[in-house]
Structure 1
Amino acid sequence: MKFNTLKSFGWFAALWLILTACNNPTPTNREINTTPATDKFTVGLILVGPKNDAGWSQAHYEAMQYVSQKRPNVALEYVDKVNPSDRPNIKGSQVADELIAKGAKLVIFNSDDLKDDAFETAKKHPNIAIIHASGDYSWQEGKNFKNQQNLVNIMPQMEYGRMIAGCAAALSTENGKIGFLGPLINDETRRFVSAAYLGAKHCWENYRKKDIKDLNFKVTWIGFWFNIPGVTLDPTKVADDFYNSGYDVVMTGIDTPEAAVQGKKAAAAGKKVKFLHYTLKTGCDLAPDICLGVPIYNWGPSYLDTVKKAEAGQIKPEFIWGKPDWNNINNPDTSAVGFVVGKALTAENKKTLDRFIKGLGDGSINLYQGPLKFQDGTDFLKAGEKATPQQIWYMPQLLQGIEGKSK
């Protein structure tokens, strides 16, 4: 989904009013945190959703709080809800211009939907460091490389987090029905759903010793990262449809907490259901009694390292696909990917999940090894073939065994 072009009449005034209104502390406004001291290194953060969405955008906001704690000389200015619903006539690049005018020396764009805005800003402001959280324009071995010297792409290797979540789901389902509440469809979301399925498949077959034919893994896409009335499917209804049609574990890939909220209601109505949140370490707090866990992104270490480079004038084009720290995947200073265990995961299943995580870490378990087929029956990986990073990143279809659309 692309942003609409800002109409020429009155655009600057409208944008100025939105940004300056952020200084109002009321929670309904778009806040900007400003620190006017001249010795501060200012970072501008552009969030696609609310900074307190209990998901994706909040994780980025908290990562920058982590950076500010580690680097007291860093000041943060942010604008949230930069999306076609909340700001239909404002481009992310225009928000970036305003942040840079306020003194930002580094600007972070936190959504795949902002990739062109990030690139446009990098070209327009070659002396400003730009981070695009996701994307591949700085990946020299990727399909979409653009040689822009001040652009950095950062994305944790969340495939592992999704595999772990899929395993937890497969270990915990009582009837083999796992639902996945999906956002829009692209390479990124296809690879994450496929990774979750691979984790579920492995643990279903190898630990529970069950036939893969008895595992029903279904994804329903709503059409964006969160609900846009009249544009997307209503994620509340999609979550309810899963719980009401017998899916006893629901995973989520959207930015907002409908899987948790509706799961809590279903459990209160007597249904034996569980859910897995994602991206935010406190996600289980939404419904702790039925939460199996949360695969988390930890943007803090990569953001901190890049901020240090920007302060030193050492930014260069980088594609950072952040790895888990297999010695401790929940180490906030070293691991880009983690998994927070929820109250609903039994002690026995936690032991099995730990065994699975250990196998991923030491390489004895490689789920990206053939034979694996796409939904249409063509080969993703032939027997014995191991996937390249490019094959994993650019996932053109869902894998065979997943119910749901690939395009």
Structure 2
Amino acid sequence: MRLNGLLVKTINHSTLKSLSLIAVFGALLGSCGSPSANSPTSPTGASPESPAAGKDFTVGMVLVGPKQDGGWNQAQFEGIQTALKTIPGTKLEYVDKVNVADRPNVKGSQVADDLISKGAKFVIFNSDDFKDDALATAKKHPDVTVIHASGDYAWKEGKNFKNQPNLGNIMGRMEYGKMIAGCAAALGTETGKIGYLGPLINDETRRYSSSAYLGAKYCWETYRKKKAENLNFKVTWIGFWFNIPGKTLDPTKVADDYYNGGYDVVMSGIDTPEAAVQGKKAAEAGKKVKFVHYDLASGCNLAPDICLGVPYYNWSFPYANSIKKAIAGNYTSEFTWLAPDWKDINNPETSMVGFNPGTALGDNKKFLDEFIKGLGDGSINPFKGPLNFQDGTPFLKAGETATDQQIWYLPQLLAGMEGSSK
């Protein structure tokens, strides 16, 4: 259906059972939060029972990029589909590609208004860029539960807390996933040159790229037995979560520049699969290169022979928990920030953050497994001092462990990294 010029797509619960998504990579473009040894922040209260079948409850989703982008948006879209399969009597309405390039002069809050006019009582905004749209929507529609994937407005201990009862945040502690990804990159490089394909610069992307560097540095020194100064970790920011022609750097060219410039491992920090696509082309041309994908569990399928792995989010169960609370009428604002389930980080029912190792790891997978085990039991914590910021000022003193707030609001990249901090 079309509302106010926007294509709003409706999926009933029964349709979800038969719907099969096919990832469209390459030409399609899409979008887009702190580790510690402490237990993860979890939703409070038990989830209520699902509603009776036949009592439709509409969930709306505002996606910043295409729902089949091979990354962030696809993982979000598949996550909400999986969640709704577990809750009878629900249906989904969504609008994707809500960004300045695809929908000029259209705000996320306007899209949410359209979804709510069609009966949505629960609305998800899936990008950091939507933080103010989510807050505005929650204020305008106090009877609607609004979830912002990423963001910190519901975090009472954060810097930006807003006391809005119907607004919540859901995010995974991807810092763990990024440290694992960085370790995989360090285990896979032969040149010691790792390129990181970054989106725009903000607190989230600084802490993610820095997490990847810390994981790489630890495994480079510990398992590869090499000096930190011989590790070249470079971040290139394209300017947004995905390519906007004329507005951002072209991630295809950035990836090619890495592969052609001696960087034999490229890590993706953006929503789309250029690191994989261009890596495959470089490998076919005879270059010994590898890549680390991001966001989507099936990301290694793009080029399995050269994939070192993929850190990914599992959105289905935290979304399902919040939807059930909203249906029962007892949802209250909460900041949900979930770490991996260290008993099995790839358990789709319990772990929001996972890592699928790639075949290109080879025998080095045993070192990655050791690193993951250490992160889980707390014997390894790369966010422990001494650590300096990129400009040489102290971040953590010797023996000091970073707090959640210090990592979430990381103001600079870390010493040893190449790339802009602002």
Task: Report the secondary structure of 2:64's partner residue.
Answer: coil
Per-residue CA distance 1:247-304 (angstroms, 9 max, x = gap): 0000011111100000000001000000010110110111111111100111111101
Matched to 1:16, the amino acid is: N
- Aligned 8 A contact 2:241 2:270 in 1: yes
Matched to 2:242, the amino acid is: F
Matched to 1:301, the amino acid is: F
Q: Distance in 1 between matches of 2:305 and 2:90?
A: 38
Sort the Cα spacing of 1:21 and 1:330 in 2 relative to 1 into closer, same or farther, 3 A: closer
Q: Distance in 1 between matches of 2:267 and 2:154?
A: 31
Q: Does 1:358 align with 2:358?
A: no
Q: Distance in 1 between matches of 2:8 and 2:387?
A: 52
Q: Distance in 2 between matches of 1:187 and 1:251?
A: 19
Q: Displacement, 1:19?
A: 2.5
Q: Distance in 2 between matches of 1:41 and 1:63?
A: 17
Per-residue CA distance 1:337-356 (angstroms, 9 max, x = gap): 0001112111x211110000
Match of 1:123 in 2: 139
- Aligned 8 A contact 2:198 2:235 in 1: yes
Q: Distance in 1 between matches of 2:347 and 2:260?
A: 37
Q: Displacement, 1:72?
A: 2.7
Q: Displacement, 1:129?
A: 0.2
Q: Distance in 1 between matches of 2:54 and 2:110?
A: 24
Structure 1 residues not aligned, in runs of 5+:
1-13, 30-36
Matched to 1:207, the amino acid is: Y
Per-residue CA distance 1:8-59 (angstroms, 9 max, x = gap): xxxxxx9523225889x9x999xxxxxxx96211100110000000000000
Q: Distance in 1 between matches of 2:216 and 2:229?
A: 13
TM-score normalised according to structure 2 size: 0.89
Matched to 1:349, the amino acid is: N
Match of 2:307 in 1: 291
- Aligned 8 A contact 1:181 1:219 in 2: yes
Q: Distance in 1 between matches of 2:417 and 2:98?
A: 32
Summarize the alignment of residues 256-271 of structure 1 with structure 2, pairs less than 5 Å apart. Answer: 256-271=272-287
Q: Distance in 2 between matches of 1:190 and 1:297?
A: 18
Q: Distance in 1 between matches of 2:9 and 2:373?
A: 49
Matched to 1:242, the amino acid is: Y
Q: Distance in 2 between matches of 1:269 and 1:309?
A: 53
- Aligned 8 A contact 1:15 1:90 in 2: no
- Aligned 8 A contact 1:15 1:95 in 2: no
Q: Displacement, 1:183?
A: 0.1
Q: Distance in 2 between matches of 1:278 and 1:253?
A: 6
Matched to 2:339, the amino acid is: K
Per-residue CA distance 1:305-350 (angstroms, 9 max, x = gap): 111111111111111111110000000000010001112111x211
Summarize the alignment of residues 4-403 of structure 1 with structure 2, pairs less than 5 Å apart. Answer: 16-19=4-7, 39-346=55-362, 348-403=363-418
Q: Displacement, 1:215?
A: 0.3
Runs of 4 or more above 4 Å deviation: 20-23
TM-score normalised according to structure 1 size: 0.92
Per-residue CA distance 1:217-272 (angstroms, 9 max, x = gap): 00000000000010000000000000000000000111111000000000010000
Q: How many residues align?
A: 385
Q: Percent identity of the aligned residues?
A: 71
Task: Report the secondary structure of 2:337's partner residue.
Answer: strand
- Aligned 8 A contact 2:194 2:264 in 1: yes
Sort the Cα spacing of 1:299 and 1:324 in 2 relative to 1 into closer, same or farther, 3 A: same
Per-residue CA distance 1:341-392 (angstroms, 9 max, x = gap): 112111x211110000000000000111100000000111011111110001
Q: Distance in 1 between matches of 2:330 and 2:173?
A: 24
Q: Distance in 2 between matches of 1:341 and 1:60?
A: 21
- Aligned 8 A contact 2:59 2:121 in 1: yes
Moved more, 307-316 or 324-333: 307-316
Q: Distance in 2 between matches of 1:135 and 1:117?
A: 11
- Aligned 8 A contact 1:242 1:250 in 2: yes
- Aligned 8 A contact 2:173 2:337 in 1: yes
- Aligned 8 A contact 2:63 2:126 in 1: yes
